Amino acid sequence: MRIVRATETFSAELKEFMCAAVQRRRDDDGFRGSRGGGKSRNAMDLDSDSGNRLVCVTGGVSYLGRAIVKRLLVHGYSVRIVVDCPEDKEKVSEMEADAETASFSNRITSVVSRLTEIESLLKAFDGCAGVFHTSAFVDPAGVSGYSKSMAELEAKVSENVIEACTRTSSVRKCVFTSSLLACTWQNNTYNNLDYSVINEESWSDEQLCIDNKLWYALGKLKAEKAAWRIADSKGLKLATICPALITGPDFFNRNSTSTLAYLKGAKEMYSNGLLATMDVNKLAKAHVCLWEGLGNKTAFGRYICFDTILSRDGAEKLAKDIGVQIEKICGNNNDSDANAETDASLQISDKKLLDLMSRTLRSCYHES
């Protein structure tokens, strides 16, 4: 079950397109005004980073990373994509040739960097106004593709990325992709009224994740906590976004390992009304909204992000999409019926994010 939220309408979508158009107009004005001399006031006022429109995206060739890169380009940013190996640079070339991004290809660059080495990250981030950290890790040898060692690695890389952000003079802020799983796996969540709403104050229990071998949830939990520990101690502007299971066009073929890792414990999440999904393109919009909110001081802290709490029909569709039996996700019909009334009070709240995005759309609409 979810907290009541505003319904998406055509009007809201129209405002969003207008928002992007306003941003492109600002970019054009700033470009024309800067010819033949110093930077114009328009160019300098684009955001709080003195007009710096270059941002870095780790994992920029991943399923989510690609969507974020495309959204940033539409909003007028230049993007430097961090890739793990030279072979991944070919994927960047594919993005540059893609019909949706071909017209922005002059604003896409890539750099090979080891996320396990701070010095390598310092070079990758240099000159960027900030970082979108979306990288996740997989272990092909793991049963679910995500092992306990991957959880430890993800936490270590998180420390490195945030530390590198704080040591790079040009970097002012970071948007960090966590997971809803970093919020939902709690002891007594379903018996204590204090925990009947999952929101930005909610944190999963580390020992519970270990005991139940929920390695993906553990990795996201430890990584996000590490990010906040360093950012808070060193004054970095940070916002973290905690999305539900990421879906969208061809999502399983393009993101199968993370999908299966997320769904460890799916039956319990479903029975408690906490199995949710999030469209990848809408999630990318939310990332950019947080980025711009950090610049104008309207965004702060953690944000839960989801589209849909899965019903039985939704669970059946998900099972079909990923090629598993429905019982793997939500058990049998008798189990679902037995839990229907018991879990009606469980809620996930994304009100904080919806309020932020609503303010952003209204602001762009009035400026247009």
Active site residue 282: no
Query: What's the Cα-to-Cα distance from 360 to each of 27, 224, 299, rounded to whole Å?
Result: 18, 25, 10
The tens-digit pLDDT sequence of the chain (368 residues) is 555 444 444 344 444 544 554 444 444 444 333 333 333 323 333 344 556 799 999 999 999 999 999 999 999 999 999 998 888 888 888 888 887 777 888 899 999 999 999 999 999 999 999 999 998 776 555 555 678 888 999 999 999 999 999 999 999 999 999 999 999 999 865 454 455 899 999 999 999 999 999 999 999 999 999 999 999 999 999 999 999 999 999 999 999 989 999 999 999 999 999 999 999 999 999 999 999 999 999 999 999 999 999 999 999 999 999 999 999 998 876 554 444 433 445 799 999 999 999 887 655 544 44
What pTM was computed for the model?
Answer: 0.84
Residue 5 falls within a domain, yes or no? no
Residue 57 falls within a domain, yes or no? yes
Residue 183 falls within a domain, yes or no? yes
The number of domains in the chain is 1
Residue 200 falls within a domain, yes or no? yes
Domain with 166 in it: what CATH number? 3.40.50.720
Q: Does residue 50 come out as left (phi exceeding 0), alpha (psi in the -120 to 50 range) or beta?
A: left
What's the whole-number average pLDDT of the chain?
Answer: 82
Residue 252 CB-half CA count within 13 A: 10
Tokens of 83: 């890739």
CB 236 within 8 A of CB 221: no
Tokens 């029909």 correspond to what residue? Answer: 313
Domain that holds residue 112: 51-187+195-332+344-366
Query: What's the Cα-to-Cα distance from 229 to each of 92, 159, 168, 236, rounded to whole Å?
Result: 32, 9, 18, 10
Residue 100 falls within a domain, yes or no? yes
Residue 245 falls within a domain, yes or no? yes
| CA-based nearest residue to 185, from 152, 149, 150, 221 | 221
Question: Which is catalytic among the residues 220, 237, 264, 285?
Answer: 220
Q: Which residues contact 230 (CB under 8 A, 6 or more apart)?
A: 159, 162, 163, 166, 236
Residue 111 to residue 123: CA distance in whole angstroms: 9
Helix, strand, coil shares, percent, the chain, to 5: 50, 15, 35
Residue 24 to residue 269: CA distance in whole angstroms: 42
Residue 299 falls within a domain, yes or no? yes
Residue 40 falls within a domain, yes or no? no
